[in-house]
A and B are shown apart, each in its own frame.
Chain A
Amino acid sequence: MKWCFFALGMILLVAAIITFCTHKDERDSFGKRMHIAMVMTGARDDHSWNESHYKAMKKVAHKLNLEVEYYDNVPNDSTAENVMELAISHGAQVIIATSFDFGDKILKIATRHPNIKFLHATGIRTAPNLSTFFGRIYQMRYLSGIVAGLMTKNNRIGFLAGLNISEVNRNINAFALGVQKVNPEAKVYVSWSGSWIDELMADDAASYLIDTVGVDLLTVHVDALAPYEIAEKKNVWIIGYNNDNSKLYPKRFLTAPIWRWEKFYETKIQEIIHHKFISRDYWLGVESGAIDLAPLSKHVDDSIRVLVEQERKRIEQGIFDVFFGPIIDNHGMVRIESGESMTDAEMINHFDWYVKGVIDGIDSQGY
C-alpha cells in the first residue's frame, strides 16, 4: 500500500514540476520589479530641471510598480561613472541620466554593460542600449516669448542663459521669435551665467541684466533659483523654466516652459519591460504632451492668453512651427527664407546664430 502512495506522490511531483517549469520564463518579466536608477547633477528638489525628472519618475514608479534609486547632486566627473556602476551593482536594469554633461560617461558605461538600458536626457549620442531624449521645448519658449513681448513695458527683456550651446541658442531664438512676433520693438538681452546650477553665477548674471541692462522681464535657461528671487526682489517679471514655480514666487512669476516627463517615461519604461526597447533619439514635440507651458499667472492678461492658445493650436496642428521662414538673424541676414523650414538636424547641431532682436551679449561673457 505504501508504494501506491509513493506513486501518487511521484505523479503529483511531476505535475508540479511541469507546471512550475513552464511558468518560469513568464515569471522573469512579470514577477520581478523593474529596477531603475536615476542620476542627476543637481538636487532632486531644485524646483527646476532635476525636480521635473524626479517628480515624473516618482509618478511612473508608483504607476508601474518600479523600484527606483535616485542619485542626485552627482558631480560631472569620475563620480558619475562610479555612481552608475554602483547603481548597476545594486541591480539597476535601466539608468536614466538627466544631464547633457554625463554624455561621455554614460556612453562608456553603456558599452561596458550591454544588457543595461540607458536613457539620456538632452544627450546627443546613442548606442544600441542607449537612447537619448529631449523635447522641442523651443515651441514653449516661443509661446512664452509672446507673453514676454506683450508684458514688457520698456521693451528690454533679459534672457539668462547657462551655456553657449545649440540647445540654448535655439531657445533664445525661439523666445526672441515669440517676442518679435508680438512686439518687434522689444529686444532680448542675453546674459551667460556659465553654469546650469551655480546660484552665485546665476545671481551675477541676473543682477547684470536687471541692474545694468535694466530689463523689466527676465527669463532663464538655467536650473538655479537665484534669478527668481532677484526678480521677485527687484520687481521684474520672470518667466521660468523647467518647473511651474508660481507658488514659490507668486509676485512676479508669469509662466514657464515646463516638462511633463512622465508622458515619456511611462511608455519607454514599459517598452523596456516588454523587451521592445529600440535605441532612438527622441525629440518630443507639443503633440507628445511631454512639454508644456505652465499656466499663465494672474498677472497675464486674457488677451495674451488667447493669443498664446492660438499660436499653440497652430503648432499642435502641424501647420506652423517656430522656425518656419522667413527668419532674419540679428545681423540682418535672412537665415531662413519665406516658405522654408529649418530641419531638425540643423536645429540640433547648427544653431550658432541669433535671430533679430537678440542682443546676444557674447561680449559680456567675461562676467
Chain B
Amino acid sequence: MESIPKDTKYNVKTVVALAAIVATVCLFCVVLRLKLDSLLYNNISGQVAQRAFVLAQSVNARINVQLDALSSIAHLAENDTTRMCDILSAANFDEGQVNYGIVSLDGTLVCGDSSVSVKPNEFSGIVQSFRGKHIASYNSERGILLSVPIYRNGKVRNVLYKLYDNIHARNYFDAGCMEDDCYSSIRDQDGNTIVGFDSPIDLSLVENDLKKQMELYSSSAYRKRINGSVYYFFMADLQLPGLSLVGMIPELSLNHGVNQVASLVLGGVGALALLLFAGFGVMFFVDRRHRDKRHRRNLLNSPEEIGHIKSVVLESVGHEILSPIGEILGMDTIIIKESKDPFLKEYAQNIQSAGQSLLSLANSIMDLSKMEVGNMELYPVEYNLFNILCDCYKMAVIRINEKALHFEIEVDQTIPSDLLGDEVRIRQIINNLLQNAIKYTTNGSIAFKIGYERQEKAHSDNLDTIMLTISVQDTGIGIRDEEMSKLFMAFRRIENRSEQEAEGTGLGLTLVKRLVDLMNGSIVVDSEYGKGSNFKVVIPQKVIKNEVIGDFNKRYREYVTASEIPRSHFRAQNASILAVDDVPMNLRVMTGLLKETAVQVDIAGNGMEAIEKIKRKHYDIIFIDQVMPIMDGIETRSIIKSLADHPNKETPIILLSINTMSEAREACQKANFTDFLTKPLREENLFAILLQYLPAELISYDEPEKSEIDQNLDESYYTQSHMGVPLVADKNEPSQQNDGLESYQKIKEIERLLPEDLENLAASGFVDVKLGINCAEKDENQYRKNLQDYSSSNMDALLEKSLKEEDFERYRLQVRTLKKRSLEIGGIDIASLAKSVEYACNTGNYDFVRMHHSELIREYRNFIKVLKELI
C-alpha cells in the first residue's frame, strides 16, 4: 500500500463518490427519522385525540344522564303541578351541592333557591328548553346549567333546571383521566378552567394551536415539548356550547413501545447503511489493491523488463530448439548418406539446408538473447587469423558459387597471423558480413578485404594491439538513408529488401553490431541505394607473435590441396569408440555417421553404463554427452579420472556439447576433456576428430565400397550443383565428371563402337545417343533397355491426370521424372521442355504449366512414336 499510484484521479473520484453516497445515506436516514417521527407523532396524536373524544363523550354521557334524571323530575312535575316545588326540594335534598329550580316563561323563579336563581339571558339553555329542548348550557360566572321543559298540553309551561356552580361541577363532570399522570379539564373559550384542577402546565401555551385544529376536527391533539418533557395536549368538543375538554398527557406514559418503532426501523436502516458502507469499503480496497497490482504489473512491464523477459525466453527457446534440430540434422545426414532413392536424397538435402538455416537462426537468437541479458562474454584465445579467413572464405565461396557473383579476397600480407581474441566471435562477424553481402547481391561482385592498423602498446601487458579491419563491399541493392537507422535492429529486415527473395530474419547484422560493440570495435556502413553497400568493421586485437600472414591466396590454395586428403573417405575397421548419450537419437546419428568408416561403435545410455564399459574394454576414443540425467558428462569424466585401474587411461575423451563453441570449449577445459564437439554433429567435424585422435595405424584410406557410390552417380550427375562442394573423386577411380580428358576419350570410344541401330538413332539426331550410353554406364544393352522402357512408358496419361486434378506437386514430380528419364536416354529437347515446366512448377507459375502442358504432351507422344519406329 505504500506505493500509492501517482495518478490518483480515479481514486479521488471514488472517494468523492463514496462521500456523496455516505452523505446521501445519512441524509436519507435523517429524513427517514423525521418522517417516521412525524408519522408516529401524528399517529399518537390521533390516538390522543381519540382518547380526548372518548373523554368528551364520557362527559357528554354524564350530562345526558343528568339531563335524563332532570327530565324524569320534570315529568313528575308535569303530572302534579301543585307539588312541583315539593318534588324539587326532595331532589335538592338528595344532592345538596347543586341547585334545582323551576323557572317560568317570564323568568320568575317558581321554585328553588331564590338566591341562586337563574335568568334566561344568563343561560341560553333556558330559552331553548322553552322551545322543548333538553339541554346543557354554560355561563362563565354561574356555572353549568341543565334545563328541561315542563309541558302542559304540549306547550312548555316551565323550565326545570339544575345549576352546578363551578366548584361543584367538578364532582359531576370531571372526566378525569385514564392514566395517572394525565390531566384533563373543561374549559371555556377564554381558557378558564370550568371543571377540573389547575393544570400542572400552562395550557394557554398550546391553546391557540389546539383551537386552530379544533376548527377542523371535533377532537384534536398537539405534541409540544415544554421544559424538556414532551407532552401531548388534547382538546375535544363537548355537548356544552362554548366549553371544551382540554388536557394533556406526557409522552412517556404513551410510550407503549411505539417510540421503539422509530428506533427499530432506524436501527435496521442504519445496519443496512453500515453494510452498504462496508460493501463500499471492501469495493474501495479491492479496487485499490487491484490498481496497485495493475500498477506493479505495469512497472514490471517496463520496456527493459519486457526486453529482459523476451531475451530469457528466447534464449531458453533457442536452447530447447537446438537439441531437436541436432537430431533432425543428424538423422538427415544419415538419410543422405544411406538413401539410394535420388528423390529421397534431394528431399533430405532440402531438409538439411533448411535445418542449417534454422540452426544458425537459433544460434543467432541465442547469441542475441545472451547479449541482451548480459550473459555474453568474450573468451579470448590465441588463434591463427589465416585459419579463420580460410574457413570463412571457403564457406563464402560455396554460397557464392550458387550465384553468378565475382568474389575476391584481399588480405594485407603484413597482418600478424597469431592474434589473441575471441576466435569464435570473429568468425561469426566475418561469416555474417559475408552472408549478408551474398544474400542481397544478385549480380556483380563482392570484395572481402582484411587490413589492420597498428596501435600504441597497451599499458598493462606487453602485447601489441592492432586494429583489425574487416571490410565487405558488395554491389547489392544497398540501403536507403532512412532505413539506415533500422539496420541493426533485431528482427527487422529492411523493407524493400524483403521484397527481394532474401531469406532470414535480419538477425545477422544485429549480431555483428552487438559483437563489435562488445569487442570495443566499431562498424561503419557506407551504402548507396541501388548500387551497393560497404560494411567496415574495426576490432582491436592483441598480437601474440609478429609473424605475418603472407600471401593469402597462395596459402589458401595450398591449404585446399592439403585438406582435400583428410576429407576423403577413410576406414578404421579396427578402431573402437564409445559414445555416451542419454538420447538414443543422438547415438543413432553418430552410429549412422560413422557407418562408412566401419569404426566399431559401442554405445552407452548413461554415465554409469559408460563407466562399466570403460572399466572392461579399451576404446580408442570416448565421446561423452555433456548433459545427461543423474550423472552428467562432467561428472562422468571426473569419475573416470578417479577410477583406479581401467584400460582407458590414455584414451582421449571428447565432450559432446549442445552449447556454443566458446562455452563448450570452456567446459572442456574445466573438466579436463581432451577435446569437444558441438552438437548437432557434423560429419566433417566428427571425422576430423577421428582422424586427429585415432591412432594413425588404425586408419586406412581404402577405397570405400563402390556399390553404394555407383548407385549415387546418376544422381550426382544432375545434382552436383546442389551438393555444394564438388565431390572430390578418389584418385583410384577415374571420374567421368571431373577428369575431362578421360571422359572425352571414353565418349569417343563409344562413338566409335556404336552399333548400327544406335548409329541410326544417333544419325537421326533425335536423341543424343552418346549421352544416353554414358548414362547407361556405357552399356549399350542397358541403353537399349532404357530406350525400350522409355518408349513403353505412359507419362502423358499420368501428367494429364495430375493436371486435371490440379495436383501440381504430383505433376511436378512426374514432370521431373520425365525430365530425368528423357535425359537418361539422351532426349535433350523433351528434357529441356520438361525442365522448363518443372521450373514453373517449382516457382508456382502454374499458368505457365497449363500453357505448356499440351505442348509437352504433344512432344512426348511424338517422341515416343518416333522412338518406336526407330527402335
Contacts and interface: CB of A to CB of B under 8 A. Distances in A.
A276 B217 CA distance: 7
B560 to A, nearest CB: 78
A7 interface: yes
A341 B17 contact: no
A78 interface: no
Nearest to B25: A11
Interface in B125-152: 126-128, 130-133, 149, 151-152
A299 B105 CA distance: 35
Contacts of B14: 1, 4
Contacts of A324: 105, 130
Interface residues of B, number: 44
A338 B155 CA distance: 10
Contacts of A198: none
Contacts of B105: 324-325, 338-341
A19 B35 contact: yes
A342 B132 CA distance: 8
B690 to A, nearest CB: 75
Interface in A14-30: 14-15, 18-19, 22
B32 interface: yes
A345 B218 CA distance: 28
Given A325-B105, A336-B155, A346-B154, A11 B17 contact: no
B216 A318 contact: no
Nearest to B215: A270
A307 interface: no
Contacts of B280: 4
Given A1-B17, A11-B24, A339 B217 contact: no
B810 interface: no
Among A15, A338, A345, chain B packs the most CB atoms within 10 A around the CB of A15
5 contacts: A22-B35, A318-B128, A337-B152, A340-B156, A342-B131
B155 to A, nearest CB: 4
B152 A318 contact: no
A321 B217 contact: no
A298 B762 CA distance: 171
A8 B22 CA distance: 9
A5 B14 CA distance: 11
B113 to A, nearest CB: 20
Interface of B: 13-14, 17-18, 20-21, 24-25, 27-28, 31-32, 35, 39, 104-107, 119-121, 123-124, 126-128, 130-133, 149, 151-152, 154-158, 215-218, 276, 280
A318 B24 contact: no
A318 B128 CA distance: 8
A12 interface: yes
B31 A274 contact: no
A79 interface: no
A342 B155 contact: yes
A343 B132 contact: yes
Contact of A15 (B28, B121, B157, B218): B28
Given A4-B17, A15-B31, A340 B155 contact: yes
Nearest to B110: A339
A22 B39 contact: yes
B20 A8 contact: yes
A343 B131 contact: yes
Contacts of B119: 319
A1 to B, nearest CB: 6
A317 interface: yes
B209 to A, nearest CB: 16
Contacts of A7: 21, 276
Interface residues of A, number: 34
Given A276-B216, A318-B126, A340-B157, A345 B21 contact: no
A19 B30 CA distance: 12
A343 B149 contact: yes
B152 A340 contact: yes
Interface string A184-217: 0000000000000000000000000000000000
A345 B132 contact: yes
A342 B20 CA distance: 78
Contacts of B20: 8
A344 interface: yes
A341 B131 contact: yes
B156 A343 contact: yes
Contacts of A340: 105, 152, 155-157
A336 B154 CA distance: 9
Contact of A341 (B31, B35, B121, B156): B156
Interface in A305-353: 317-319, 321, 324-325, 336-347
Nearest to A7: B21
A18 B149 contact: no
Nearest to A317: B121
Contacts of B21: 4, 7-8, 11
Contacts of B127: 318-319, 321
Contacts of A337: 152, 155, 157
Contacts of B124: 287, 318
A274 B217 contact: yes
Nearest to A316: B121
B851 to A, nearest CB: 66
B430 to A, nearest CB: 62
Question: Which 9 pairs, one residue from A and one from B, show the smallest C-beta to C-beta distance?
Answer: A343-B132, A318-B127, A341-B130, A340-B155, A341-B156, A317-B121, A274-B216, A319-B120, A4-B17
Contacts of B13: 1
Among A12, A336, A340, chain B packs the most CB atoms within 10 A around the CB of A340
B275 to A, nearest CB: 12
Nearest to A340: B155
A2 B149 CA distance: 82
B18 A341 contact: no
A271 to B, nearest CB: 9
Contacts of B35: 18-19, 22
Contacts of A14: 28
B106 A339 contact: yes
A338 B39 CA distance: 61
Nearest to B105: A339
B237 to A, nearest CB: 9
B120 A344 contact: no
Nearest to B218: A276
Contact of A344 (B17, B27, B132, B152): B132
Contacts of A347: 131
Nearest to B280: A4
Contacts of A19: 31, 35
B20 to A, nearest CB: 6
A340 B157 CA distance: 4
A60 to B, nearest CB: 15
Nearest to A283: B131
Contact of A321 (B25, B130, B152): B130
Nearest to A344: B131
Contact of A339 (B25, B157, B276): B157
A321 B131 contact: yes
Nearest to B129: A341
A276 B24 CA distance: 42
Given A317-B121, A318-B126, A319-B127, A343 B155 contact: yes
A15 B31 CA distance: 8
Contacts of B218: 276
Among A319, A324, A325, chain B packs the most CB atoms within 10 A around the CB of A319
A12 B27 CA distance: 10
A321 B131 CA distance: 9
Contacts of A270: 215-216
A325 B155 contact: yes
A281 B133 CA distance: 14
A37 B31 CA distance: 42
Nearest to B130: A341
A336 B155 CA distance: 7
A325 B152 CA distance: 12
A286 to B, nearest CB: 11
A343 B154 CA distance: 8
A171 to B, nearest CB: 17
Interface string A269-286: 010001010000000000
